[in-house]
Amino acid sequence: MLANTRLADRTWRVDIEAPELAKRIRPGQFFMVRLPGHTDPLLGRPFALLDILPQESGVSFAHMVVGKATGLLADARAGDRLDVWGPLGQRFPEPVAGARRVALVAGGIGQTPFLAHTRELLGSHGFAGDPPARRVETVDFVYGARTSSLHAGVDAFRDAGATVHLATDDGTAGTHGRVTDVLAALPRPDHVFGCGPEPMLKALARQCASMGLPCHLSLETPMACGLGICYSCVVKVRDTESPAGWDYRRVCVDGPTFAAEDLVEFA
Ligand code: FES
């Protein structure tokens, strides 16, 4: 570990030296992190790519302290060793053809995958050996939290070129309301990506369906192995070839991002 920096209440950014991972990972993918020498928790935890460090020397991720693993991570110091394996899962899909404006909608710790995604969309960084290429003109980053002290790393999104729109449940920053209220008031995006708590994602999926907007959701499903072995992460996805009209998919290998319209329990 190179650095452990507090971003907001209970929220930390961890920078790790991992040049091979930095050269191969793409926005939307994740990696597993485990604290060596600990048997509780025994398993690793999945973390989305937050950003690439300078000269592709490593990667960063962000986490909110919610349990033992993240509590131990918050206490870790520069120089501590972490077990890290990845990249895992699928990258974010490209925006629809001809898209000029993309909205990235986040709630809670769900902003994590969208900083690297902003850099990819606006062409400030090429990932996995690809040259940087601007894909859209505008990235609207819509970020909701219970209160302003939980908004983490907002300046990094502004520095990356996103137009930032905040929302809070208590009105302490930005719009007093929900991310869906903010999205409804913005110029119409060509494509929406969402990440955050499930109720927020379901509301976002319904809103995009009613507005006829393409929408992809990055799921924060708990994972045990991250490798497609344990089936602890399954989600119901529409499948016309299945008698039931849906089948289970593993979020860790088939996701974590899915088209909202394909998620049976979301839209
Ligand atoms: Fe084990 Fe997905 S976390 S199959």
DSSP letters spanning 152-205: -SHHHHHHTTPEEEEEESSSSSSEES-HHHHHHHSPPPSEEEEES-HHHHHHHH
Distance from residue 260's CA to the centre of ligand 1 (Å): 20
Distance from residue 143's CA to the centre of ligand 1 (Å): 28
pLDDT at 169: 96
Looking at per-residue pLDDT, the higher value among 246 and 74 belongs to 246
pLDDT at 267: 72
Q: Is 87 exposed, middle or buried (0-12, 13-18, 19+ CB in 10 A)?
A: buried
Distance from residue 196's CA to the centre of ligand 1 (Å): 19
CA-253 nearest atom, ligand 1: 2
Q: Is the pLDDT of residue 40 over 80?
A: no
Q: Which pLDDT band holds residue 59 (cuts at 50, 70, 90)?
A: very high
Q: Residue type for 32, please?
A: M
CA-226 nearest atom, ligand 1: 3
State pLDDT tens for residues 128-166.
999 999 999 999 999 999 999 999 999 999 999 999 999
- The preferred substitution site among 230, 235, 249 for testing ligand 1, maximizing ligand atoms within 8 Å of CB, is 230
Mean pLDDT across the stretch 193-210? 97
Ligand 1 close to Cβ of residue 234 (< 6 A): no
Distance from residue 215's CA to the centre of ligand 1 (Å): 24
State pLDDT tens for residues 202-234.
999 999 999 999 999 999 999 999 999 999 999
CA-229 nearest atom, ligand 1: 4
Q: Is the pLDDT of residue 8 over 90?
A: yes
Q: Residue type for 207, please?
A: Q
CA-250 nearest atom, ligand 1: 2
Ligand 1 close to Cβ of residue 43 (< 6 A): no
**What are 101's two structure tokens?**
């404006």
| Residue 19 Cα distances to 22, 76, 87, 226, 248, angstroms | 5, 20, 12, 21, 34
CA-223 nearest atom, ligand 1: 3
Residue (of 264, 261, 125) closest to 194 by Cα position: 261
pLDDT at 39: 73
Could you tell me if 14 and 60 are in contact, meaning their C-beta atoms sit under 8 angstroms apart? yes
Mean pLDDT across the stretch 4-13? 94
pLDDT at 74: 86
Q: Is the pLDDT of residue 44 over 90?
A: no
Q: Is the pLDDT of residue 38 over 80?
A: no
Distance from residue 253's CA to the centre of ligand 1 (Å): 8
pLDDT at 66: 84
Based on its alpha-carbon atoms, the radius of gyration of the chain, rounded to whole angstroms, reads 18
CA distance 59 to 81: 14
3-state class (DSSP) for residue 76:
coil
Distance from residue 184's CA to the centre of ligand 1 (Å): 35
Percent share of the chain, pLDDT over 90: 89
User: Comparing 26-40, 115-129, 222-236, which segment has the lowest mean pLDDT?
Assistant: 26-40
- The preferred substitution site among 30, 227, 237, 249 for testing ligand 1, maximizing ligand atoms within 8 Å of CB, is 227
Could you tell me if 132 and 122 are in contact, meaning their C-beta atoms sit under 8 angstroms apart? no
Percentage helix, strand, coil for the chain under 3-state DSSP, each rounded to 5: 25, 30, 45
Strand order in the sheet with 175-176: 175-176, 163-168, 138-145, 101-107, 191-195, 215-218, 257-259
Q: Which pLDDT band holds residue 70 (cuts at 50, 70, 90)?
A: confident
Ligand 1 close to Cβ of residue 219 (< 6 A): no
pLDDT at 71: 83
Collect all residues with Cβ–Cβ distance below 8 Å to 8 and sequence separation of at least 6: 149, 150, 151, 152, 153
Q: Is the pLDDT of residue 41 over 80?
A: no
Ligand 1 close to Cβ of residue 45 (< 6 A): no
What separation, in Å, do the N-terminal and C-terminal C-alpha atoms of the chain show? 40
Ligand 1 close to Cβ of residue 224 (< 6 A): yes
